[in-house]
Structure 1
Amino acid sequence: MSGSTKDYPTLPGLRQRRLHDIEGMSVRILEAGFETPGRPLVLLLHGFPEMAWSWRKVMPALAQAGFHAVAPDQRGYGGTTGWDAEGDPAAFRTHAYATDALRIVSALGYRFAAVVGHDFGSMVAAYAALVRPDVFRSLVMVSFPFDGPPALPFDDADHAANPPGPSLAEALAALPRPRKDSMAFFASPEAEADMLYPPQGLHAFLRAYFHVKSADWPGNHPHPLTSGSAEELATLPHYYIMDRALGMAATVLPDAPRPEQAAANPWLPDADLDLYARAFRRTGLQGALNWFRCHTGPIGQAEIALFSGRTIEVPTLFLSGKADWGTYRKPGALERMRSTYPRMAGVNLIDGAGHWVQQEQPERFTAGLLDFLRGQGSTP
């Protein structure tokens, strides 16, 4: 299935429309600040398992500050159509998503933009800024630090190849309590059915998944990692480093919020969660999960390797929640960004938020985002 045309609910200051012929797709966008031509463009790229709707609390404030804020449903998600979850998985590699972002900017009549990406959208935004700094002139990564393309082997022409050691997957599986990485699970053939048709139902699964990765779950106490060994990674919460025998639905079920907690959730009320659940019932999850197939496997790696040694040179900010383990999931990534990105503006970790920072603490998030955008000369 390739998407749904069902509209988002109407919110003051937001409109939705479609951009046609974007890499063969019809892309649904939300936008704010569209009334006045010539405003600076801020492109907002959502993460998994979300849609453009995840930016609903941020966009009106960006418009009030004088920006044109645009959030697309990315390929594989929501109301964007023309993608094929069962077709060539390479259509969902990071390079393809970055090309989508470039085409959206061009279709809207802009030569350049600030790009903001959350979760996997952070990887897309970072890659877009790495490859096209002439267009994406400032970058905000949210919850997923990108410290550059992997290094290529150097000065190894006359050296015998060393036999590879065990992979991370093998090392995790060999632990006394066998484990697996959630990224690898998302890339697996069984992931879609596990999450789309769990015993507790899709709505209840999503409620539990959003809960355990938020500041509401008391088990989130992130801290920097040092080695990245299987033993150290196994200390992360179970939703990142999973028990090998379990799927994600069973992993998060024991920590689901009580019904009265869910009903009182101030940052993701049931009406908004229902919107996500209904959308994924229509589209399925495989389109969204195909990015993980590409990111954790060989698909698209040659394109990324082409940029090995390049660093992001545009003004860059990293924003996340203080209770978000995603900040430290890749050991040392934040410090490498600080030391290698020449225009790294800083790291802003927001109180009272976990992984869904722009939804959990939209006022604090937007304040940090606007401080950065204005500091880069993007003030209208």
Structure 2
Amino acid sequence: MTEPLPDIPLPSTIRARFVESINGLRMHVLEAGYETRGRPCILLLHGFPELAYSWRKVMPRLAAAGYHVIAPDQRGYGRTTGWDGNYDGNLNSFRLLNLVRDALGLVAAFGYRSVDAVVGHDFGSSVAAWCALVRPDVFRSVALMSAPFAGPPPLPFNTADAPFQPKPEDPVHRELAALPRPRKHYQWYYSTREADADMHRARQGVHDFLRAYYHHKSADWKDNKPYPLKGWTAGELAKLPTYYVMDLARNMAETVAEEMPSAAAIATNQWLPDRELAVYSAEYTRNGFQGGLQWYRCGTSGAFTAELETYSGRSINVPSCFISGKQDWGTYQRPGVYEAMQSTACTRMIGCHLVDGAGHWVQQEQPEQVSRLLISFLQQAHARGRMDLTS
């Protein structure tokens, strides 16, 4: 018989619960604003390596603004069960459109035919974008955080009378490895068999690994001064910090160990004190990282690109916004995507906000500012929706 899991330390206005039979999952969910019925709903989707817990600071503020706020541990994460994290298992359940199905199933289980907004951070931003693109009738607006959206992959076009050309292999990985300082891209590293064990059995332990990882990608790491790159080339990508473009011979635990903050810095950390980091480290120590890494494997394998090409040429046409840390390289890690999001991928963008004093973990580093931006966006999106109904 398994031991009961310890309670997660949460603000008094947030409760944790399980929801059964969500697309094959028993989903662990944090919930705020549940005290009264009839509230508009907001769905919050976390990224890697995080949990629903990453929304703990914004959920009470959104609930106080009148919303029912739902944040699940997504497939592969935390206390949600029913997923297969075996490296040799079937990746199919982790593909983007099945993650959209998870989100649809969850809001339906709570009795909602539509939600006012889906908000996604990091890899959760990709899921949120596809929710809004595929089911705009359900997800009435979308806030993308820390990972911009370029739109669906294009179909090969005007090729009927051209000689057959096999899809060329991306040379950038070979070119990165051939640099004077040999490098590799973290998403392809995360797709290797070794990545989970490298982090789960890190020499410094999971807790200190996560401390260094979160620090390295935050505004506390003073060399996070991002700017747009000129293209998807080895020379340009090598300008990214090592948590994105790693030294070829190092794994991720070794990479971030070099940037471990001092004991004094940890003791004074306000946005992620050690007692809160312990929630993450306990869950990842218990589960490992492979559940989240499966998402990266779906992307780098190309196995599900054809399914996404079904939506080629479609855009997100519900009100949208983008929120990221000003010190977050995630905004620019794929050259041109930030600009494509604003020009073609999203047709009704209300704003793009780069929050000073935040790196990649924007809703944890600057929760008051993020909450204010989200509430303002929700009000503007709702007003636009009313205008559309009357025009």
Task: Give TM-score scaled by structure 2 length.
Answer: 0.94
Is 1:176 the counterpart of 2:180 in the alignment? yes
Is 1:121 the counterpart of 2:124 in the alignment? yes
Cα pair 1:93 1:299 within 8 Å, conserved:
no
What is the aligned-residue identity percentage?
A: 54
| 1:88 equivalent in structure 2 | 90
Distance 2:7 2:300 in 1: 33
Stretches of structure 2 that go unaligned for 5 or more consecutive residues are 386-391
| 1:150 equivalent in structure 2 | 153
The 5-angstrom pairing of residues 309-324 of structure 1 reads 309-324=313-328
Distance 2:197 2:55 in 1: 27
Deviations 1:273-292 (A, max 9, x none): 11101101111111111111
SS in 1 for 2:278: helix
SS in 2 for 1:377: helix
Cα pair 2:357 2:365 within 8 Å, conserved:
yes
The aligned amino acid for 1:272 is E
| 2:375 equivalent in structure 1 | 370
Structure 1 stretch 168-177 or stretch 208-217: which is displaced more? 168-177
Distance 2:7 2:337 in 1: 38
Q: Match for 1:352 among 357, 362, 367?
A: 357
The aligned amino acid for 2:31 is E
**In the TM superposition, what is the alpha-carbon distance from 1:162 to its structure 2 partner?**
4.5
The 5-angstrom pairing of residues 7-18 of structure 1 reads 7-18=7-18
Distance 1:365 1:376 in 2: 16
Distance 1:229 1:10, change over 3 A: closer
| 2:334 equivalent in structure 1 | 330
Deviations 1:130-156 (A, max 9, x none): 111110110000000011011111101
**In the TM superposition, what is the alpha-carbon distance from 1:259 to its structure 2 partner?**
1.2
Distance 1:98 1:345, change over 3 A: same
Cα pair 1:115 1:138 within 8 Å, conserved:
yes
The 5-angstrom pairing of residues 108-257 of structure 1 reads 108-113=110-115, 114-162=117-165, 164=168, 166-257=170-261
Deviations 1:153-203 (A, max 9, x none): 110122124562653212212222221111111111110011111111111
**In the TM superposition, what is the alpha-carbon distance from 1:335 to its structure 2 partner?**
1.5
| 1:279 equivalent in structure 2 | 283
The aligned amino acid for 1:91 is S
Distance 1:351 1:204, change over 3 A: same
Deviations 1:316-369 (A, max 9, x none): 100000000000111111211211122011210001000000000000011011
- The alignment covers a number of residue pairs equal to 378
Q: Match for 1:104 among 103, 106, 112?
A: 106
Distance 1:33 1:18 in 2: 16
Distance 1:270 1:183 in 2: 27
Cα pair 1:338 1:346 within 8 Å, conserved:
no
SS in 1 for 2:83: coil
**In the TM superposition, what is the alpha-carbon distance from 1:376 to its structure 2 partner?**
1.1
Distance 1:127 1:56 in 2: 24
Is 1:294 the counterpart of 2:302 in the alignment? no
Distance 1:6 1:128 in 2: 32
The aligned amino acid for 1:201 is G
Task: Give TM-score scaled by structure 1 length.
Answer: 0.96
**In the TM superposition, what is the alpha-carbon distance from 1:11 to its structure 2 partner?**
2.0
Structure 1 stretch 90-99 or stretch 201-210: which is displaced more? 90-99
Cα pair 1:324 1:353 within 8 Å, conserved:
yes
| 1:339 equivalent in structure 2 | 343
The aligned amino acid for 1:348 is H
Cα pair 1:6 1:79 within 8 Å, conserved:
no
Deviations 1:244-289 (A, max 9, x none): 1110011111111011111211000111111101101111111111
Distance 1:98 1:155 in 2: 31
The aligned amino acid for 1:63 is A
Distance 2:209 2:278 in 1: 12
Cα pair 2:172 2:232 within 8 Å, conserved:
no
Cα pair 1:75 1:287 within 8 Å, conserved:
yes
Stretches of structure 1 that go unaligned for 5 or more consecutive residues are none
SS in 2 for 1:198: coil
Distance 1:51 1:90, change over 3 A: same
**In the TM superposition, what is the alpha-carbon distance from 1:204 to its structure 2 partner?**
0.7
**In the TM superposition, what is the alpha-carbon distance from 1:71 to its structure 2 partner?**
0.3
The aligned amino acid for 1:26 is R
Cα pair 1:95 1:300 within 8 Å, conserved:
no
Distance 2:189 2:67 in 1: 38
| 1:25 equivalent in structure 2 | 25
RMSD: 1.7
SS in 2 for 1:255: coil
SS in 1 for 2:382: coil
Distance 1:13 1:166, change over 3 A: closer
Is 1:51 the counterpart of 2:56 in the alignment? no
